[in-house]
Structure formats: C-alpha cells, structure tokens
C-alpha cells in the first residue's frame, strides 16, 4: 500500500501526527508538497511569504531524506497533482493535517475531498494544534485544546519506506511563480533549524522581559519570541513551543521569568482561540461578523487614503514608521498591528476588506485564522468587542518616547525637534518640512476620531444589534478563560459610552505577540 503524505502548513518531521500516521501503515510513503500557483496569486499572498516557505521546504527535504524518503515537490493544481501521483504509484491512502486556511484553501480541500471519494482514495486529516474541526459549541473547547497541548509530542518515525522511481522535483523561485517583486531586506529566514534556535534563545535569554517589552516596537523586536512565522508555516508546532515554555517555567527561573512565561503560554492559547473562530465560520474572511456592521463604512475605499496608508505616507509619523518597518521586516509587534488597523479603520475610515490583504501580504507570519478575526476585531465589526480607537500620537509618545524608532524610519523628519516629532504639524517651523519632505496629515486626527466614534456607536445603538451580538458571543466567545481575561498586558478599556444593560459583554483582548 502506498500512502501520499501531503504537507501543507506542517513543514516539519517532529510532532507531526500526519507523518506518524502515514508511516504506521507499513507500506511506502510519498511525502509531497504541492506548489499551487493559483494560491500564490491570491491577494493575501506575497513573494516574501513564498521565500520563507521555500526555505522551510529545503529544511524539510533534508529531514525527510534522512528518513529515507525525500520530499517530492510538484507545481500545479492540487487535484491534478494528487490524481496523477495516485495513478502512477497505486496510492490508495492520502494523509494530511487539518488546515485552517483562507477561503481559497477551504474550497481547494473540498475539491480534493470530492476527488478522493470518487477515486477510492481514503483521505485522513489530523489536527496539529488546538483547533477542533466541526466543533458543535465552544463550551468545553479550552479543556480539549489544553489536553491536546499536554499530550506527548509525536516522535518522528525512525525511517520511511520510499516510493521508487519518483523524481524529487525543484522548489521554484518567486520569479518562476511570477510573483511580484517584494523587497523585504530584514525578513526572518525560514526552516526548522532557525525555529529551534529562536525558541531556545527566547526561553534562555530574550524572553525574560517579554511581558513588559512586547508593546513597543523599540523593544519587541528582541523581547518577543519571533516564532510566529515558524508556527504559521509549521516549521515548529505550537505544542512544542507550549511544552518547552512549560518546562522552563517548571524550573522556577527567577527575575521576571514567571510572568513572561505565563503571558507567552496565554498567547499560544489565544492563538488557537482565534483560529477556532475562522474554522467555525470561514466567511469571517469576507463578511462582517455582525451583519449590521456591513453598513458602517463604504465598501469602495478612498483610494488616496488607502495608498498613503499602505506606503507609510499618511503624515501621521508613528503610523508611517510602523508601516515602513513592516514593509522592510515582514513583522511588527501586535500592539502596533492593532494600531495600524485601528487608524486605517477609524481615522481613515477604510473598510477592513481593503486594508486586510495589504497587511496579509506584508506579514511573513500571515496566519488566516488570526489575521481575519483580528482585522474585524480592531475594525469594530465583530459586535462582540468594545470599540478600540487608538490615538496614534499617544501610542507613539508612550511606545517611542525618545523618538529613536521614528527617526530610524522617517529620515525626512530629521530637522524636527524632539518635542514636536510625534506631532510635527505643531512645530512653528513645520512649513519647511510638511508638504515638501514629508506629507501633511491626510486627516484631522481629532475630528476623524470623533466622527468615527459617533458612527460606530450609532450602529451599535440600533434595535436588534445587542441581541445578535449576544448570539455571536455564545458562538465565538472565550468563555472567560482566566488566561485571556486577567492578563495584565491586555490593553485598558475605555469607559462605557452607553449603559451596560444595552451593551453586549465584550470578549477580552490579548495581544498575540509571538
């Protein structure tokens, strides 16, 4: 019996339940990765992401070769590739992990399932994290998730029986896939080896100040685990990270380690919580979770504002610095991600479906199950969460008080004195800089925030809004897990702007800095 082992977002041999199952059948195993050009043409995909995946594939190919069955890479449509390999090698079994991807991969998996049924190929999908497929209700979900994370990691098989006569195939370049040029000079590199190195350095040294340092882009680059792209593409499993952190905590390290490790563990749990939302309701990628919010913003965005935001040319220094940093690195800490979405959604009044793909392409660690629920959460369209309208000037003053971050990414503001750096329009001599070297603000921040707040609360005061929001909380809410609610790093909430009796209980927000 020949088994096709289909790798997707599980690019590792350690703690890979699908690999273990494929090896347990006693027959030959054909490890396969399908490079799908249409997937990489989607608006949420980018060359920086593919470059990271390609590096992970090189590592995976070497690891599988050591087991005796090198990775086979094919470029094409998944059903066509799978069907051809199954016919050529008599494969009657297909094994993969359960992917919580975007709507495109969801539709592709449905096509694969239809082909497998018709071809008599038994397809088994296995979970690789805390997300539960076909979950009837959220009650008890946290316990099921925690049980999975506490279970022993799955050991790699000692060897695999290869399929004879299969060409390995080349891992194509971004140019071969005709991906748009995507310069990202400070991108993290992919691969299992680097994932383990990042985990080790975080738990040994870098992570001690994690809890306090994760909010500022100045300190987060080093203090955060930087595991997010490895988790997103499966070079490292979340269970491996969780158990390594638990082992470190069990050693009772001193200093600030206890709080930081607890925060890290909570964020791993919160990661699964958000991915579960998309698993339960894939339409979150394209439709407002609360239907009333479809009327909140125009679907056709203001093109000039959208372009200025994407380019880091809004005239709002801290926003622009964060966007430029993200463009150059493929990563930025969660608090700044939330601020970028908040400013785009409220001050610039842009629909999240216009800004979401831009950010998705920039994130090397793009994880659909986190990205789309968070786009809606920070845009105020879930109905479950309180409105979070970040003040970008205040955020800059709090998280970059010396202006070092701004000056690194906005050299145009070099003449501006420190006292006016976060608000250069207040500088008496700004005329020589604004509108020439650096743009004037695209909006009046105070007026835009006021108008956005009024419009958002008007939607929430409408008849029926609270009842629908309560239904959404029942379906997607965290059930007040103390790991989520009591975390001190969660942003402070604004005071309620209307009576609590008419306001749905908001789910807690926890920053997802990994």
Q: What is the DSSP string of 179-221?
A: PPP---TTPPPPSHHHHHHHHHHHHHTGGGGHHHHTT-HHHHH
CATH code of the domain covering residue 57: 3.40.50.620
Whether residue 281 has pLDDT greater than 50: yes
Q: Which domain holds residue 238?
A: 192-282
Distance separating alpha carbons of residues 330 and 154, to the nearest angstrom: 31
User: Helix (H, G, I), strand (E, B), or coil: what is residue 438?
Assistant: strand
What does the pLDDT read at residue 1?
A: 87
Sequence-separated (6 or more) residues with CB below 8 Å from residue 26: 1
User: Is the same domain home to 123 and 207?
Assistant: no
What does the pLDDT read at residue 135?
A: 94
User: Is the same domain home to 260 and 391?
Assistant: no
Q: Final residue of a domain: which of 74, 94, 128? A: 128
Whether residue 462 has pLDDT greater than 50: yes
Whether residue 298 has pLDDT greater than 50: yes
pLDDT tens, position by position, 99-148? 999 999 999 999 999 999 999 999 999 999 999 999 999 999 999 999 99
Is the distance from CB of 17 to CB of 126 less than 8 angstroms? yes
Query: How far are the Cα atoms of 198, 208, 503 from residue 257, in angstroms, in the given order?
Result: 17, 5, 37
What does the pLDDT read at residue 484?
A: 53
Q: DSSP class of residue 434?
A: B
User: Is the same domain home to 235 and 291?
Assistant: no
As a whole number, mean pLDDT of residues 352-372 equals: 98
As a whole number, mean pLDDT of residues 258-271 equals: 97
Distance separating alpha carbons of residues 303 and 305, to the nearest angstrom: 6
User: Is the same domain home to 226 and 263?
Assistant: yes
What does the pLDDT read at residue 507?
A: 40
Distance separating alpha carbons of residues 352 and 354, to the nearest angstrom: 5
As a whole number, mean pLDDT of residues 230-251 equals: 98
**Residue 154 domain-assigned?**
no
As a whole number, mean pLDDT of residues 68-77 equals: 97
Whether residue 482 has pLDDT greater than 90: no
What does the pLDDT read at residue 494?
A: 38
Beta pairing, strands 28-35 & 72-75: parallel
CATH code of the domain covering residue 310: 1.10.579.10
What does the pLDDT read at residue 94?
A: 98
**Residue 514 domain-assigned?**
no
What does the pLDDT read at residue 500?
A: 32
As a whole number, mean pLDDT of residues 50-78 equals: 98
- Per cent of the chain over pLDDT 70 is 93
What does the pLDDT read at residue 176?
A: 97
pLDDT tens, position by position, 160-183? 999 999 999 999 999 999 999 999
User: Is the same domain home to 436 and 301?
Assistant: yes
**Residue 133 domain-assigned?**
no
User: Is the same domain home to 320 and 429?
Assistant: yes
What does the pLDDT read at residue 511?
A: 58
Sequence-separated (6 or more) residues with CB below 8 Å from residue 221: 329, 333
Which region holds residue 367: left if phi is over 0, alpha if psi is between -120 and 50, else beta? beta
**Residue 158 domain-assigned?**
no
As a whole number, mean pLDDT of residues 303-318 equals: 98
Whether residue 295 has pLDDT greater than 70: yes
Distance separating alpha carbons of residues 68 and 155, to the nearest angstrom: 16
Q: pLDDT band at 26, cuts 50/70/90?
A: confident
What does the pLDDT read at residue 386?
A: 86
Q: pLDDT band at 506, cuts 50/70/90?
A: very low
Whether residue 508 has pLDDT greater than 70: no
What does the pLDDT read at residue 306?
A: 98
As a whole number, mean pLDDT of residues 68-94 equals: 97
Q: pLDDT band at 489, cuts 50/70/90?
A: very low
Q: Final residue of a domain: which of 258, 282, 306? A: 282
**Residue 179 domain-assigned?**
no
- CB under 8 Å, gap of 24 or more: what pairs does 406-415 form? 406/317, 406/318, 406/321, 408/321, 409/312, 409/320, 409/321, 409/324, 409/325, 410/317, 410/320, 410/321, 410/324, 410/438, 412/437, 412/438, 413/317, 413/437, 413/438
As a whole number, mean pLDDT of residues 201-216 equals: 97
Sequence-separated (6 or more) residues with CB below 8 Å from residue 229: 52, 188, 190, 330, 331, 364, 365
Number of domains in the chain: 3
Single pTM value for the model: 0.93
As a whole number, mean pLDDT of residues 314-333 equals: 98
User: Is the same domain home to 229 and 378?
Assistant: no
**Residue 274 domain-assigned?**
yes
Distance separating alpha carbons of residues 3 and 28, to the nearest angstrom: 6
Q: pLDDT band at 425, cuts 50/70/90?
A: very high
**Residue 435 domain-assigned?**
yes
Phi, psi of 72 (to 5 degrees): -100, 130
DSSP bridge partners of 96: 6, 125
What does the pLDDT read at residue 513?
A: 74
Q: pLDDT band at 355, cuts 50/70/90?
A: very high
Query: How far are the Cα atoms of 46, 281, 348 from residue 139, in angstroms, in the given order?
Result: 37, 16, 38
Q: pLDDT band at 496, cuts 50/70/90?
A: very low
Distance separating alpha carbons of residues 132 and 141, to the nearest angstrom: 8
Separation of first and last alpha carbons in the chain: 41
User: Is the same domain home to 325 and 390?
Assistant: yes
User: Is the same domain home to 354 and 494?
Assistant: yes
**Average pLDDT across the chain, whole number:** 93
**Residue 93 domain-assigned?**
yes
As a whole number, mean pLDDT of residues 289-309 equals: 97
Tokens standing for residue 18: 């699908």
Q: Final residue of a domain: which of 251, 282, 313? A: 282
Stated as kind and residue range, the H or E segment containing 310 is helix 303-311
User: Is the same domain home to 291 and 440?
Assistant: yes
Tell whether the torsion through CA atoms of 152, 153, 159 and 160 is positive or negative. positive
What does the pLDDT read at residue 103?
A: 98
User: Is the same domain home to 412 and 498?
Assistant: yes
User: Is the same domain home to 239 and 288?
Assistant: no
């Amino acid at each position: 019996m020949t088994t096709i082992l289909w790798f997707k977002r599980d690019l590792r041999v350690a703690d890979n339940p699908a690999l273990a199952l494929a090896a347990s059948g006693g027959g030959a195993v054909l490890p396969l990765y399908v490079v799908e050009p249409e997937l990489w043409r989607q608006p949420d995909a980018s060359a920086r992401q593919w470059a990271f995946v390609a590096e992970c594939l090189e590592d995976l190919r070497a690891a599988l070769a050591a087991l005796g069955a090198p990775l086979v890479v094919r470029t094409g449509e998944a059903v066509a590739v799978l069907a051809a390999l199954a016919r050529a090698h008599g494969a009657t079994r297909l094994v993969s992990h359960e992917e919580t991807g975007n709507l495109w991969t969801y539709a592709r998996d449905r096509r694969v399932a239809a082909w497998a049924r018709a071809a008599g190929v038994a397809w088994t999908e296995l979970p690789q994290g805390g997300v539960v497929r076909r979950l009837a209700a959220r009650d008890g979900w946290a316990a099921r998730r925690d049980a999975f994370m506490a279970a022993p990691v799955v050991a790699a098989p000692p060897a695999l029986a290869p399929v004879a006569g299969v060409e390995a195939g080349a891992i194509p370049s971004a140019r071969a896939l005709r991906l748009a040029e995507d310069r990202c000079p400070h991108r993290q590199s992919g691969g299992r080896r680097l994932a383990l190195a990042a985990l080790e350095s975080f738990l040994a040294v870098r992570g001690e100040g994690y809890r306090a340092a994760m909010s500022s882009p100045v300190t987060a680059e080093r203090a955060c685990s930087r595991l997010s792209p490895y988790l997103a593409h499966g070079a490292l499993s979340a269970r491996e990270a969780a158990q390594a952190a638990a082992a470190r905590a069990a050693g009772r390290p001193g200093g600030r380690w206890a709080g930081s490790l607890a925060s890290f563990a909570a964020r791993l749990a919160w990661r699964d919580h958000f991915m579960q939302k998309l698993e339960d309701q894939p339409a979150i990628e394209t439709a407002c979770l609360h239907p009333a919010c479809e009327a909140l913003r125009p679907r056709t965005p203001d093109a000039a504002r959208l372009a200025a935001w994407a380019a880091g040319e809004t005239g709002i220094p801290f926003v622009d610095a964060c966007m430029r940093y993200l463009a150059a690195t493929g990563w930025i800490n969660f608090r700044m991600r939330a601020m970028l979405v908040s400013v785009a959604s409220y001050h610039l009044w842009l629909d999240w479906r216009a800004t979401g793909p831009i950010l998705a392409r920039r994130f090397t660690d793009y994880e659909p199950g986190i990205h789309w629920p968070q786009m809606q959460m920070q845009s105020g369209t879930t109905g479950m969460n309180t409105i979070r309208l970040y003040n970008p000037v205040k955020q800059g003053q709090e998280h970059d008080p010396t202006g070092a971050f701004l000056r690194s990414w906005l050299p145009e503001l070099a003449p501006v004195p420190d006292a006016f750096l976060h608000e250069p329009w207040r500088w008496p001599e700004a005329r020589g800089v604004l509108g020439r070297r650096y743009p004037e603000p695209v909006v009046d921040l105070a007026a835009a925030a006021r108008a956005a707040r009024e419009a958002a609360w008007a939607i929430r005061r409408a008849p029926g809004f609270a009842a629908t929001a309560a239904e959404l909380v029942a379906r997607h809410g965290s059930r007040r897990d103390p790991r989520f609610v009591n975390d001190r790093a969660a942003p402070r909430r604004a005071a309620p702007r209307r009576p609590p009796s008419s306001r749905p209980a908001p789910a807690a927000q926890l920053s997802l800095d990994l």
